[in-house]
Amino acid sequence: MSQLEALRQHTTVVADTGDFRQLAQYRPQDATTNPSLILKAVQKPEYAPLLKDTVTRFKAKPVDEQIDRLIVRFGCEILSLIPGRVSTEVDARLSFDTMASFTRAERIIELYQAEGVPADRILIKVAATWEGIRAAEMLEKRGIHTNLTLLFSFVQAVACGEAKVQLISPFVGRIYDWYKKEAGAKWDEAANAGAKDPGVQSVHRIYNYYKHFGVATEVMGASFRNKGQIVALAGCDLLTISPELLGELSASNEPVPRALDPEAAKRLDLVRAHYDEPHFRFALNEDVMATTKLSEGIRTFVADAIKLQTLMQETAA
């Protein structure tokens, strides 16, 4: 049995890609996308006709709507290949605007529904800022399910759970990146691998807290740098994995023991946490890694959204 098949016994496997032609061989339940992944996909020759067709059909529409229609087109293609849900991201430029994020999410759902896709197959991705969490809370009350992304800290996870969002995506690899960069020459890879990886430890803490207190929000580990991080999170509700790492897991037969267990979490001695807005902002501000990676992640997604916008405008010219 491959590591990928062994992982499926403990965890729902999700594909993290905009390149839907890669999906069939790995049989994921769900899939996730983001502006960077969509940009990467549309720059490949095989997706040029899809980009051109979308731009040609909707060139009279505002460019922000053209982008939404493109990402929905990718989402529909992905959904034709998987049995579950696809995560589609709201423009990161709206990360600090609750109502704009809410409105944009509603439009994305309407575009999917116009293509015959029911809302329950979509997760709207929103950055886990205070404003993004509030937008997600409003969307959940409307029956639109959400995936809170760019999540790097316990305080973000607690706030998301209190908002009753459907799912969170703690970013394992980017946490690892930060600590490795900070340590510089002092970094010891072996001492920070597997269960000792700081990104893995962050997800363990969040998962155990949710299961201990019966928080219904799903935990989906994301942003992996190596398959050791994935194996160390076997048992997490979901794990979203790049095609490259799915390939590595498929090629290996090493064991995959369960690392996270809801019953074990219930036996832990934990304290319930709560963060109103001032305490959320202060706690996040005190976490240098989370503050740095959240702002950096938003900037990166915004930059790629702008590149995608430029590409669409050039295609229309």
HEC readout, 117-144: CCHHHEEEEEECCHHHHHHHHHHHHCCC
Which one from 52, 61, 125, 266 is the annotated catalytic residue? 125
Residues 6+ away with beta carbon under 8 Å from 57: 69
Residues in CB range of 150: below 8 A, 6 or more apart: 127, 128, 169, 171, 293, 294, 297, 298, 301
**Helices marked H in the chain — which ranges?**
3-8, 35-42, 48-58, 63-79, 98-114, 130-141, 154-162, 172-183, 198-213, 227-231, 243-251, 262-266, 277-286, 288-316
Length of the chain in terms of residues written = 317
Catalytic, 125? Answer: yes
Q: Whole-angstrom Cα distance, residue 270 to residue 208?
A: 9
Positions marked catalytic: 125
